[in-house]
């Protein structure tokens, strides 16, 4: 019922040559991905090139963040409208690196989500607790706060169709320390239950929830076997084509 969605977040990695080779390989193989939805999120400067390279393959191309304002004096920033203008279809909002390194609050994340939806971009909304928050038993409180700040008041159909959630425990990102399938499933079920309570079971049943945090070829199968894990948002293991491609077999 929910289409698995495997997405590569390239962060500030790769260069033009590596990206071109990656896209050629993906173009060759994307047809074989079957039921799995694929996505890549390159740095801004390569967006238009990647859109062109993957046109017609069905692979989603998106940006890693955006500014909520439609235009203006924001040196160095890129508006959601401009992301859409170069042909990208998605944007990530609320990634923990944006929250931690660039001080984005729940309100900032919501502003980005709203502007993205308003100009026709679909959204990956990231939520996740830090290690001290988990150790203090605050995981549920933190992820539900981030989820509610990001989704309260949205139209249910928009949420189900145009928003993908990504549960990314901050302690698992880039650390090699993945959440166990049990830990991931527990939080995914919590997120889905909250959406069911606020938007109804039909919306919650359609919502795609990815897990992110040190997903690798060796652990993706166990994570994807969890009933509420519908895909992965992959950083490090999405940078090498062979490793990204091996994740694609695990759509269930
Ligand atoms: P990682 O990053 O796979 O390198 O842990 C995931 C992410 O930040 O989305």
Q: What is the pLDDT of residues 166-214, one digit of tens each?
A: 999 999 998 888 999 999 999 999 999 999 999 999 999 999 999 999 9
Q: Which of 39, 95, 98, 212 to mutate to test the pocket of ligand 1 (most atoms within 8 A of CB)?
A: 212
The residues lining ligand 1, judged by C-beta closer than 6 Å to any ligand atom, are 9, 168, 173-174, 212-215, 233-237
Q: What is the pLDDT of residues 1-26, one digit of tens each?
A: 799 999 999 999 999 999 999 999 99
Does the pLDDT value for residue 138 go beyond 50? yes
> How far, in Å, is the centroid of ligand 1 from the Cα of 10?
9
Return the ligand 1 atom nearest residue 233 CA: 9
How do the domains of the chain map onto residue ranges? 5-251
Average pLDDT of every residue of the chain: 95
Q: What pLDDT is attached to residue 249?
A: 75
> How far, in Å, is the centroid of ligand 1 from the Cα of 42?
14
Q: What's the whole-model pTM score? A: 0.97
**Helices 106-118 and 139-151, packing angle to 10 deg:** 40
Q: Please, how many CA atoms are within 13 Å of residue 225, restricted to the half-sphere of its CB?
A: 7
Does the pLDDT value for residue 32 go beyond 90? no
- Band of pLDDT at residue 247, cut at 50, 70 and 90: confident
Q: What pLDDT is attached to residue 252?
A: 40
Does the pLDDT value for residue 82 go beyond 60? yes
Q: What is the pLDDT of residues 33-72, one digit of tens each?
A: 568 999 999 999 999 999 999 999 999 999 999 999 999 9
Residues noted as catalytic: 95, 168
Does the pLDDT value for residue 162 go beyond 80? yes
Closest residue by Cα to residue 92 from 118, 64, 127: 64
Residue 72: φ, ψ to 5°: 140, -175
CA Rg, the chain, in Å? 17
Element (H or E) spanning 140, and its range? Answer: helix 139-151
Q: Which of 165, 184, 213 to mutate to test the pocket of ligand 1 (most atoms within 8 A of CB)?
A: 213
> How far, in Å, is the centroid of ligand 1 from the Cα of 173?
5
How many angstroms separate the CA atoms of 167 and 153, rounded? 20
Question: Residues 6 or more apart from 33 whose CB is under 8 A from it?
Answer: 248, 251
CATH for 5-251, options being 3.40.190.10, 3.20.20.70, 3.30.470.20, 1.20.1250.20: 3.20.20.70
Q: What is the pLDDT of residues 231-244, one digit of tens each?
A: 999 999 999 999 99
How many angstroms separate the CA atoms of 191 and 188, rounded? 5
Residue 119: φ, ψ to 5°: -100, 15
Q: Please, how many CA atoms are within 13 Å of residue 49, restricted to the half-sphere of its CB?
A: 15
Contact call for residues 116 and 123 (beta carbons, < 8 A): yes
> How far, in Å, is the centroid of ligand 1 from the Cα of 21?
21
> How far, in Å, is the centroid of ligand 1 from the Cα of 233?
7
Q: What average pLDDT does the segment 120-138 reach?
A: 97
Return the ligand 1 atom nearest residue 92 CA: 9
Contact call for residues 125 and 94 (beta carbons, < 8 A): yes
Hunting for tokens 């150790």 — which residue is that?
Answer: 135
Closest residue by Cα to residue 64 from 5, 126, 11: 11
Closest residue by Cα to residue 65 from 97, 24, 26, 30: 97
Return the ligand 1 atom nearest residue 236 CA: 4
Residue identifier of the C-alpha nearest atom 7 of ligand 1: 235
Task: Give me the residues paired with residue 232 across strands.
Answer: 6, 211
């Amino acid at each position: 019922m929910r289409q698995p969605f495997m997405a590569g977040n390239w962060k500030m990695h790769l260069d033009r040559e590596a990206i071109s080779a990656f896209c050629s390989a993906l173009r060759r193989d994307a047809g074989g991905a079957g039921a799995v939805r694929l996505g890549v999120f390159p740095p801004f400067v390569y967006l238009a090139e990647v859109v062109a390279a993957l046109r017609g393959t069905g692979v989603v191309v998106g940006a890693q963040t955006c500014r909520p304002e439609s235009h203006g004096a924001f040196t160095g920033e890129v508006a959601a409208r401009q992301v859409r203008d170069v042909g990208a279809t998605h944007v990530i909002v609320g990634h923990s690196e944006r929250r931690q390194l660039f001080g984005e609050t729940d309100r900032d994340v919501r502003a980005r989500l709203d502007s993205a939806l308003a100009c026709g971009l679909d959204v990956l909304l990231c939520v996740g607790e830090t290690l001290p928050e988990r150790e203090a038993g605050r995981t549920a409180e933190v992820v539900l706060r981030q989820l509610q700040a990001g989704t309260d008041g949205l139209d249910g159909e928009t949420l189900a169709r145009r928003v993908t959630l990504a549960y990314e425990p901050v302690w698992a990102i880039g650390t090699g320390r993945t959440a166990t399938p049990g830990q991931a499933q527990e939080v995914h079920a919590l997120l889905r239950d909250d959406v069911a309570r606020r938007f109804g079971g039909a919306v919650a049943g359609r919502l795609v929830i990815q897990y992110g945090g040190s997903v690798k070829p060796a652990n993706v199968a166990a994570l994807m076997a969890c009933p509420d894990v519908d895909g992965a948002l992959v950083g490090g293991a999405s940078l090498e084509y062979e490793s990204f491609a091996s994740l694609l077999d695990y759509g269930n």
